[in-house]
Structure 1
Amino acid sequence: MPTPTPTPTPGSKTRRKDKNAAAATRARARLTRVRRGKKNKASSGPSGEAAAAKQPVYLVVEHGVEDPTHSILEVAAGAAPRPLLYGRRGMSFAAVGTRYGPRIVGLGLDRNLIYNPETSKEVEGPPLLDRMAHPILIPHGGELFDLDENSGWRYLPPPPIFPCRLNPLEYRDPPEVQVAAYAVVGSHILLSVQQEKGTCAFDVVSMEWEMVDDRNLPFIGQAVPVGGHRFVACSKARDGAPAVYYIEVFPPGTTSTGRSELSIIELPVKSKGIVPRQHLCAMGTGRFSSFDIRSVDPGPEAKLDKARIVHRSYSLEEGDDASANSVVVVKEQRQIYKLRDPSCHLAYPSPVVAALTV
């Protein structure tokens, strides 16, 4: 007597398909929101979530040993990283506004790439004049300097604090110079190096460098603009804790010395609100975000499979004491995401190399 063929129960095929779909979803890299924080205080402007929706944030993720070396993803629940096919190790990244819309540029070694976040398209840019690893990228308006369909590179005069002329002994053992802090203030790019050599400024209008202060900039890394000559940056005096600065560059005609002069005032902050961070990101006038990347030591193999990204949004408000020019930093929201990519490992200790708004 033949064995009867089992009759499938209603919904059995659907369940099998659901399991296959779930497995396929798990195999793809995703940014998953695991916790959504509460607002600590209502701001007088639009909510942090509404502001974030108007100005998206993109993270550039570095991989471990696999190619492609980098991926890019939008900070949103369920976002999938897009591999950057022209990425190379040693690249730095910056967001640039162009007449065709915003672009994210990666630059390092002798290569560069241009990524369109609106279309998710990537093209390779023109070759660089020299090889460089992890360069400091400073966009100013629509220039990096200049970015359009006929992109090209040209040399600019070197900063006066860089060792450009070496004697024979220095040539055999050249000094190491590394940019320690920088900011874009009006038409000037401010720059300090690790050695105490003061602060120089590059005027993007006259294309000239000049010294504007005998002291170095009081912060580490990039100062993030939040509007009205105010910047958020990591203070050197407080071991990298973020602080708020008021920065101005006075032109030669307004100073007693007849030269450009720099004014930096650290504003008193009337709240306990800024959390130490790895990445700061401007979100428009009076707003910024911080990103902390948390991961577990992967051990001797250094193969990182997953990381947590803590995204906090803040706003700046005027303090009660107008004479002291104080500010209140309000933490609006905290969201925690889990980043996992089963197809390739993440770079350790920090897989995120840039946080950019476009």
Structure 2
Amino acid sequence: MLPIVIVMSYAVVGPYILVSFNQNWGTHAFDTNSLKWHKVDDERLPFFGCAALQCSSIFLGLSKKDGPVNAYHICVANSGKDHALKLSIIVLPLRYMGHEVDAGPCFSSLDNGRFCSLSYLVDSSTMTPHHEYNELYPRKVRVNLRTYQIENLSLLEDPAEMLLDGKPEIIISSQWRQSFKILSPSQGFSASSFTFLSV
């Protein structure tokens, strides 16, 4: 039987689309200029899912599924040897008040050194049967939206200066939190609602 192949992590770095799979194949890059694939590293990408460009060559990604967010300095360049492509990644932990930043099931990069995370909590006391399906759906969901601001954004524009530090990390200067209650009094939320929130 052929193995089941799933893309576990990916990022777009300049003209390259980097991908890692659930198999031990390392990391591959698709060059959108030459339309060719290249193996750029023997290890998988160190994040889960998509790493989103924050600024310059700094990307934000989940360190593991539903885990804390880290920043990654990602560079793809010619190694000089047979013009082979080489991947370079430096992990830069994000810290807010000395703690890791837990993004929940999904997050997104915004402009000006900001990013946000979205999570939800189902009120199990409001479960109701759906009229078309033989399943229970909640009528009430609490959605939490957190927005973070990165301190010293100018350092991200010049990562070389930040990397001179022995243990570089990115500091979050502030966090805003908003909570919303979403009600569906008639038939409850369908499964597609939760799929949308988790993407």
Structure 2: distance between partners of 1:295 and 1:305: 9
Corresponding residue for residue 340 of structure 1: 183
Corresponding residue for residue 11 of structure 2: 183
Corresponding residue for residue 277 of structure 1: 104
| Residue segments in structure 2 that go unaligned for 5+ positions in a row | 130-134, 156-160
Do residues 315 (structure 1) and 149 (structure 2) align?
Answer: yes
Do residues 326 (structure 1) and 151 (structure 2) align?
Answer: no
Structure 2: distance between partners of 1:308 and 1:354: 12
Q: Is the Cα–Cα contact under 8 Å of residues 281 and 355 in structure 1 kept in the other structure?
A: no
Corresponding residue for residue 74 of structure 2: 247
Deviations 1:195-233 (A, max 9, x none): 221011112222221111110011111112111211111
Structure 2: distance between partners of 1:345 and 1:206: 49
Deviation at 1:239, TM superposition (A): 6.9
AA in 2 matched with 1:346: F
Structure 1: distance between partners of 2:81 and 2:197: 40
Corresponding residue for residue 287 of structure 1: 114
Q: Among the aligned pairs, what percent are the same residue?
A: 32
Structure 1: distance between partners of 2:185 and 2:18: 41
**Residues 267 and 201 (structure 1), Cα distance of their counterparts in 2 relative to 1, 3 Å cut:** same
- Which aligned pairs between 1:115-130 and structure 2 lie closer than 5 A? none
2:85 pairs, out of 260, 280, 284, with: 260
TM-score by length of 1: 0.45
Provide the aligned C-alpha RMSD in A: 2.9
Structure 2: distance between partners of 1:189 and 1:266: 19
Q: Is the Cα–Cα contact under 8 Å of residues 212 and 261 in structure 1 kept in the other structure?
A: yes
Structure 2: distance between partners of 1:174 and 1:296: 42
Query: More strand per residue: 1 or 2?
Result: 2
Structure 2: distance between partners of 1:186 and 1:354: 28
Which structure's CA Rg is the greater one? Answer: 1
Structure 1: distance between partners of 2:192 and 2:121: 9
| Residue segments in structure 1 that go unaligned for 5+ positions in a row | 1-172
Do residues 211 (structure 1) and 54 (structure 2) align?
Answer: no
**Residues 248 and 303 (structure 1), Cα distance of their counterparts in 2 relative to 1, 3 Å cut:** same
Structure 1: distance between partners of 2:100 and 2:172: 6
Do residues 351 (structure 1) and 176 (structure 2) align?
Answer: no
Do residues 225 (structure 1) and 53 (structure 2) align?
Answer: yes
**Residues 189 and 210 (structure 1), Cα distance of their counterparts in 2 relative to 1, 3 Å cut:** same
Q: Is the Cα–Cα contact under 8 Å of residues 293 and 350 in structure 1 kept in the other structure?
A: no
AA in 1 matched with 2:184: D
Q: Which has the higher contact order (CA 8 A, sep 6+)?
A: 1
Deviation at 1:331, TM superposition (A): 3.4
Deviation at 1:310, TM superposition (A): 0.5
Task: Look up the SS of the partner of 1:190 in the other structure.
Answer: strand
Structure 2: distance between partners of 1:242 and 1:291: 13
**Residues 270 and 343 (structure 1), Cα distance of their counterparts in 2 relative to 1, 3 Å cut:** closer
- Which aligned pairs between 1:89-100 and structure 2 lie closer than 5 A? none
TM-score by length of 2: 0.78
